[in-house]
Structure 1
Amino acid sequence: MSAPAGKSAIPRRALVGIFGGLFCGYVGLTAAIPVLPGFVRESYGATDFAVGLVVMATALTALLVRPVSGHLADRYGHRLIMQTGALIVAAGGALYFLPLGLTGLVALRLLLGVGEASLFTAGAVWTVSLAPHNRRGQLIGLYGVSMWGGISVGTFLGATLLPFGYGAVWGFSVAAALAGLVLISVAPVLPRAGQPSGGHGLLVRPALLPGAALALASAGYAGLAAFVVLHLQTRGIDSGVVVLSGFSAVYGGTRLLIGHLPDRLGPRRVVTWSGLGEAAGLLIIALAPNLPVALVGSLIMGVGFSLLHPSLALMVMDRTDGAQQGAAIGAYTSFWDLGLSIWGPLIGAVAAGLGYPAVFVAGAACAAAAVAVALCVRQPDAQSATVS
């Protein structure tokens, strides 16, 4: 599965198809997000609980299906599973046109979670399989930038198209996903060294500790996304959304400018710095007396949080046999969904019981705990480190 030994050139044509396919797939997937709450209320008179269930249902199946998708990508090929994910996303956009009822709409969103998991996980391990050994962390980071870019563009364009009717949004979702399918389909598949066995399990042991660290680190992001605006408003600080925007900008910029650091310095060292950076940024936000200080905190947090995921993913790759890397990546990324599912309600309880600053202090504590967990990951020996 790995690139030939000693290969240092990046297969740009293949990566354009993979990254572009992921970007377009997420544009199609997320275009519906900003319009679904209104659609559910207008069409079915749904409660707040039902609205939340419809919007978040994809996370449930994505959490469960990611390891399966990675296992299937190992066995049947990355492109096939990624194509399947794009097709499911396109089909889901078309099914929005049907009068499904509220139960049917929830079922559709669950199906889209399968598509999202297949699209992302197969593309992630495909990227790793093509990357030169000394560029894997950087390319994993850039792959994530493609995903977040698709989410940002998709939600923006979905809201922009709403004045033309829900049908325009559904149609755009189909078209974007099909464009992603085309890009994936034209990406060249390089010969693999031997036929992978697909491994013997879905929850690969090397993914457990890095995945747990990722789940802990997600607490800070959950708190920032949910409560930073309200936290600053209680201190008479308007324009709290600037803090979120600053975090997003530096998150992507960090991966573009210094995304090579996990490869160059080693994932353990970068995880340590990144986790402590996330914690420091969160504590600054918790204590911020004004907007500039809160913005500085979000920038520091963004730099740290940006490099956590690729560094932890490198730990997984360094300790996983090539035949199981798809299942390992799938299991590892499932911890992100799990973390958000857990921290969403828990952070809300912290805010209700202890106040908004406690949300960011708790997130900082979780980021520090993530570092401690990551440092418990055993480093591979020299021989196993070359297996990728």
Structure 2
Amino acid sequence: MDATIDNSKSRSTSLISYVIFTFIGYLIIGLSLSVLPVFIHQDLGFSMLIAGMVISLQYVMTFLMRAYSGKIVDNHGPKPAVLASMFGFSMTGIVLIAAYYFKFSPIVSLGLLIITRLFTGSAEGMIGASPINWAIMSLGKQHMAKIISYNGVACYSALALGASLGVTIVKHFDFYGLGALIFILGILGYLFARGKDNISCQKTEGEDERKSFWKVLAKVAPYGFGLALGGLGFATISTFITLYYDYHHWQNGALCLSVFGILFVVSRLMFSHAINKYGGLNVAIVSLAVETLGLTIICLATHPYLALIGAGITGLGFSLIFPALGVMAMKTVPSSNQGSALAGYGLFIDISLGITGPLIGGVADSFGLNYIFPFSIGIVMLGLVLACYLKVNQSK
């Protein structure tokens, strides 16, 4: 019994040593997520559509880098991708400081902010699936659901912490302090990654040769589309909740991201075993339904506390969508394509986050901010319909 407990603790400690890179990366992303839209719209004077487009540039770059990252992991192991990611994140801090320095010239400042989003997107594309692959290669595929779940905990707890911390830092130290912290975090992550051993993916006897990235992408696409549709609800909250609160003259909009992240983490820790017990598609269907409920509460909220409850329920629902559909997606390819499969699957959340800025920003500019959550509800419900369709086809 003691040996079993010790092995479990050892695996958990080893797992944390890999997902820490996800935590660092998404903490950096979260630090600027809740403050940049307000800075672009209110301080620089650009429209909400422009603010959304600038934020979404990050996800465009992430999309473009996913395939390259997966190829690196499959051919050279995860370590080079993680190192490149940490370096890219550190560079965003330097350029962010320059963008704030030139705030007296909105066009110049916006141009530098665009560069920060490109650096951030490139870094996110490299870090997205790399720690997951590193952990799977080290601990074994039998722990895949747990690894994906823990990685998500690291991701969204970091986003939640970063969102609130970013507002506090900008309030007391402006963007100079924020940029400096981002630079330091990136360098620390880089140094820690350098000290870890790389692991290469070995093709086992009798296994198919590695397929091209695009063939792998086609395999995981049905599950990826479900992830993308479900991800739009989260993306609407992460990108526009501070502006939504400001529109209603409410305070502490960034707190919604924190509540979202807390309930997200709670769900991952308490219910991640449900994927192996009940099946990925069953869990995804329930999760999408719960996310829809949370968004509906935000939509109907007449008080900021009700919006906080809605954000928490949305986080509770969104939490298991990625691992539930991800486990199903990974079963469609051999282990030699593991890196490409996770990278390809992750593309769909990048697509979701990438189009949310201009799409929801366009809805807000054309119809008003009150319409952004009804629109998001409709999109997430499409994801629920797709998950039900995949479930029906699976049972045939």
TM range (shorter): 0.7 to 0.9
Find the counterpart in structure 2 of residue 138 from structure 1: 146
Find the counterpart in structure 2 of residue 174 from structure 1: 183
Which runs of structure 2 are paired with 1:41-52 in the superposition (5 Å)? 47-48=46-47
Question: Residues of 1 paired with 2:15 and 2:242: CA distance?
Answer: 37
Report the alpha carbon displacement of residue 334 of structure 1 after superposing the two structures with TM.
Answer: 1.7
Q: Partner letter of residue 138 of structure 1?
A: K
Question: Residues of 1 paired with 2:260 and 2:183: CA distance?
Answer: 30
Question: Residues of 1 paired with 2:248 and 2:200: CA distance?
Answer: 59
Q: Compared with structure 1, are the counterparts of its residues 318 and 37 closer, same or farther at alpha carbon in structure 2 (3 Å cutoff)?
A: closer
User: Normalised by the size of structure 1, how large is the TM-score?
Assistant: 0.78
Q: Compared with structure 1, are the counterparts of its residues 181 and 226 closer, same or farther at alpha carbon in structure 2 (3 Å cutoff)?
A: closer
Moved more, 233-242 or 281-290: 233-242
Say which of 203, 210, 213 aligns to 2:223. Answer: 210
Which runs of structure 2 are paired with 1:236-385 in the superposition (5 Å)? 245-288=258-301, 295-350=308-363, 359-377=372-390
Superposed CA deviations along residues 95-130 of structure 1, whole A, max 9, x for unmatched, are 556699554553453133212210222123323434
Moved more, 244-253 or 226-235: 226-235
Q: Compared with structure 1, are the counterparts of its residues 380 and 372 closer, same or farther at alpha carbon in structure 2 (3 Å cutoff)?
A: closer
Report the alpha carbon displacement of residue 83 of structure 1 after superposing the two structures with TM.
Answer: 1.4
Contact kept in structure 2, 1:67 and 1:326, CA below 8 Å: no
Superposed CA deviations along residues 305-356 of structure 1, whole A, max 9, x for unmatched, are 1111111111111112212221221122121121233334444555566676
Question: Residues of 2 paired with 1:226 and 1:307: CA distance?
Answer: 21
Say which of 122, 125, 129 aligns to 2:133. Answer: 125
Question: Residues of 2 paired with 1:166 and 1:291: CA distance?
Answer: 27
Contact kept in structure 1, 2:163 and 2:254, CA below 8 Å: no
Find the counterpart in structure 2 of residue 3 from structure 1: none
Q: Compared with structure 1, are the counterparts of its residues 328 and 239 closer, same or farther at alpha carbon in structure 2 (3 Å cutoff)?
A: same
Say which of 171, 175, 194 aligns to 1:185. Answer: 194
User: Normalised by the size of structure 2, how large is the TM-score?
Assistant: 0.77
Question: Residues of 1 paired with 2:304 and 2:173: CA distance?
Answer: 37
Moved more, 72-81 or 170-179: 170-179
SS in 1 for 2:329: helix
Q: Partner letter of residue 322 of structure 1?
A: S
Say which of 191, 201, 217 aligns to 2:213. Answer: 201
Report the alpha carbon displacement of residue 270 of structure 1 after superposing the two structures with TM.
Answer: 0.4
Report the alpha carbon displacement of residue 80 of structure 1 after superposing the two structures with TM.
Answer: 1.7
Contact kept in structure 1, 2:38 and 2:242, CA below 8 Å: no
Contact kept in structure 2, 1:145 and 1:255, CA below 8 Å: yes
Superposed CA deviations along residues 170-220 of structure 1, whole A, max 9, x for unmatched, are 332222112112332334445754489653224621221111111111232
Query: Between the two proteins, what is the percent identity of the paired residues?
Result: 24
Structure showing the higher helix proportion among its residues: 2
Unaligned runs of 5+ in 1: 1-6, 382-388
Q: Partner letter of residue 59 of structure 2?
A: A
Find the counterpart in structure 1 of residue 74 from structure 2: 74
Find the counterpart in structure 2 of residue 116 from structure 1: 124
Q: Compared with structure 1, are the counterparts of its residues 78 and 35 closer, same or farther at alpha carbon in structure 2 (3 Å cutoff)?
A: same
Q: Partner letter of residue 80 of structure 2?
A: L
Moved more, 76-85 or 125-134: 125-134
Q: Compared with structure 1, are the counterparts of its residues 345 and 39 closer, same or farther at alpha carbon in structure 2 (3 Å cutoff)?
A: closer
Moved more, 201-210 or 52-61: 52-61
Moved more, 85-94 or 230-239: 230-239
Report the alpha carbon displacement of residue 8 of structure 1 after superposing the two structures with TM.
Answer: 8.4
Give the alignment's Cα RMSD to 1 decimal: 4.1
SS in 1 for 2:128: helix
Q: Partner letter of residue 199 of structure 1?
A: K
Moved more, 292-301 or 70-79: 292-301
Superposed CA deviations along residues 39-68 of structure 1, whole A, max 9, x for unmatched, are 88999x674576655544322211211122
Q: Partner letter of residue 338 of structure 1?
A: I
Which runs of structure 2 are paired with 1:25-44 in the superposition (5 Å)? 25-32=25-32
Contact kept in structure 2, 1:232 and 1:240, CA below 8 Å: yes
